[in-house]
Amino acid sequence: MFAGGVSASAQTDLPKNVIQLAQLKRNVHEQLAALPNYTCVETIGRWRRENASRPFRYLDTVRLEVQVVNNRELYSWPGANRFEDRGIGEIVGSGTVSTGSFATEAHTVFLSNTSTITWHGEEERLGRHTARWDYSIPYNLSGWTIQLSGRSGRVSEIGSFWADAGSLDLLRLESNADQIPPDLDVASVHDTFDYARVRIGSRNLLLPQSVEIVLTDLGGQQDRNIIEFSHCREFSAQASVTFDAAPRIDQPDSPPAEISIRAGLSFAVRLAHAIDSRTAAVGDELSAQVESDIKDKGVVVVPKGAVLRGRIRRLERHAASRNFYIVGLEFTDIEFPGHHALFFGDMISADPVAGLQSSFGSSKSRTSDYGLGGSLTTSETESYWTVPIPGVSTFFIEGASFRLPEGLHMVWHTVKLAK
């Protein structure tokens, strides 16, 4: 906790930049103290390039909700009824992700007493007159861990931050991983956080407006995530952010009865809304309607009209000798009046759609290739594969863009729940 102020006599004995830094820390502390009352949508655009001489190519977009609890960032899919006590990597399941962008990094640099901060000077930066400081966090005090290809290691941290010289509002924070373990296939990680005040209800909060994270491996390949925060609102047990979900079946006042659906049943369903690659993102909600009664040994266990619900789990765009997408769909719940069941299955077929491959990924825990001939080969030297996510059906769609239409007929087959 920081003291409320610096006495007038003490101020005359302190350099200007020391007084400015104390005020900046107080500003950051006040803003971070308010964040547990709010939740925001975190949108992550993911890009990749083979080396620094080539342009980045877009892979996909991920949408999550984020909230701060006890200086820890918690995540959920948009519209979910609770935040999960799992890491962001477990929730998303694939690709490059990071945690700490919303609040944890600022808390670490300014409030955790782990960083050594030195005055750099005043600069014209970001179109404003700014004050700059440099900082470092030693290896033994750092909480920054990098995980890649099954390996993980702690790194130290060095960086700089800039504040408006007048208001001492934080404008930018740049951080770099240092002392990277030699057994990690990582050459560098560079993060850039840009801050601005956002009006939320009756308050003006200082929030990260955008974050860029660039990871470079030892071979020169770079992954870039661009993160933006939006749709911030005061958090309550009854409030959450949703994205154009299909209307839910009217729920009774009493909780729905939980039922079980065994493995080995086939569900013919129709997509309740279109999926357009130009607007869709990982994390978007999905729903589909069951076409006919589902019977188990002659008994109807799921009636016609029941709603299957899930999310887009992969939407990676690739461009080589031909353009294609890797798409992953997951259905997790099935609902009909007075009843609810968990759903775990594979998509085994779908109506013809331009570019859609006929081979679909399995939810079994194995490393497999999907698509044409078991993998999608775009040239003599380029082939692509997917590491399966349990319960997520993965497939290829050729083309620079695609659209899965509303009403698309699909058949899903229930399988045993992954252990």
Residue 8: per-residue pLDDT: 47
Does residue 6 register a pLDDT over 50?
A: no
Residue 317: per-residue pLDDT: 82
| Region 71-90 average pLDDT | 84
- 79 assigned to some structural domain: yes
Does residue 238 register a pLDDT over 50?
A: no
Does 380 lie in the same domain as 285? yes
CB 122 within 8 A of CB 132: yes
| Region 220-241 average pLDDT | 73
- Nearest-angstrom CA–CA distance, 199 and 217: 39
Does 195 lie in the same domain as 310? no
| Region 402-406 average pLDDT | 94
Confidence of residue 253 (pLDDT cuts 50, 70, 90): low
- 206 assigned to some structural domain: yes
Does 27 lie in the same domain as 150? yes
- Strand boundaries in 184-249, DSSP class E: 188-200, 203-216, 222-234
Q: Which of 409, 416, 418 is nearest to 267 (CA)?
A: 409
| Region 85-89 average pLDDT | 84
Does residue 373 register a pLDDT over 60?
A: no
- 225 assigned to some structural domain: yes
Distances from the Cα of 389 to the Cαs of 48, 263, 412, in angstroms? 21, 18, 16
Confidence of residue 388 (pLDDT cuts 50, 70, 90): low
Does residue 332 register a pLDDT over 80?
A: yes
Q: Which of 284, 378, 237 is nearest to 60 (CA)?
A: 284
Q: Which of 225, 295, 237, 240 is nearest to 267 (CA)?
A: 295
Does residue 21 register a pLDDT over 80?
A: yes
Q: Which of 344, 24, 288, 298 is nearest to 168 (CA)?
A: 24
Domain end point (choices 202, 234, 266): 234
Does 218 lie in the same domain as 106? yes
Does 305 lie in the same domain as 400? yes
Residue 384: per-residue pLDDT: 46
- 245 assigned to some structural domain: no
pLDDT digits (tens, 9 = 90+) for 114-167: 999 999 999 998 888 999 999 999 999 999 999 887 788 999 999 999 999 999
Residue 204: per-residue pLDDT: 78
Q: Which residue has the higher pLDDT, 178 or 151?
A: 178
DSSP for 327-341 reads EEEEEEEEEETTEEE
Domain count, the chain: 2
- Nearest-angstrom CA–CA distance, 282 and 78: 10
- 240 assigned to some structural domain: no
Residue 360: per-residue pLDDT: 58
Residue 171: per-residue pLDDT: 93
* DSSP three-state, residue 50: coil
Q: Is the dihedral of CA 387, 388, 394, 395 positive or negative?
A: positive
Residue 42, classified by CB atoms within 10 Å of its CB into exposed (0-12), middle (13-18) or buried (19+), is buried
| Region 40-51 average pLDDT | 89
Residue 202: per-residue pLDDT: 67
Tell me, what amino acid is at 220? G
Using the structure block, give the residue that is written with the tokens 């990749």: 48
Tell me, what amino acid is at 367? T
Does residue 240 register a pLDDT over 50?
A: no
Confidence of residue 417 (pLDDT cuts 50, 70, 90): low
Q: Which residue has the higher pLDDT, 37 or 307?
A: 307
Q: Which residue has the higher pLDDT, 334 or 233?
A: 334
- 174 assigned to some structural domain: yes
Does 150 lie in the same domain as 27? yes
Does residue 206 register a pLDDT over 70?
A: yes
- 189 assigned to some structural domain: yes
- Nearest-angstrom CA–CA distance, 7 and 13: 10
Does 206 lie in the same domain as 337? no
CB 405 within 8 A of CB 411: no
Residue 361: per-residue pLDDT: 54
Q: What pairs with residue 398 in β-bridges? A: 324
CATH code: domain of residue 358:
2.40.128
Does 154 lie in the same domain as 16? yes
Does 289 lie in the same domain as 172? no
| Region 92-106 average pLDDT | 87
Does 287 lie in the same domain as 218? no
- 380 assigned to some structural domain: yes
CB 187 within 8 A of CB 80: no
**Average pLDDT over the chain, rounded to whole?**
82
Confidence of residue 86 (pLDDT cuts 50, 70, 90): confident
| Region 7-14 average pLDDT | 59
CB-CB neighbours of 345 under 10 Å: 26
- Nearest-angstrom CA–CA distance, 132 and 313: 40
Q: Can you give the residue range of the structural domain that contains 352?
A: 257-414
| Region 406-416 average pLDDT | 93
Residue 270: per-residue pLDDT: 97
For the whole model, what pTM was predicted?
0.64
Residue 235: per-residue pLDDT: 63
CATH code: domain of residue 103:
2.50.20
Domain end point (choices 234, 249, 266): 234
Domain end point (choices 199, 219, 234): 234
* DSSP three-state, residue 33: helix
| Region 184-206 average pLDDT | 85
Does 177 lie in the same domain as 43? yes
Q: Is the dihedral of CA 216, 222, 228, 229 positive or negative?
A: negative
Does 276 lie in the same domain as 352? yes
| Region 369-395 average pLDDT | 49
Confidence of residue 49 (pLDDT cuts 50, 70, 90): very high
Residue 381: per-residue pLDDT: 33
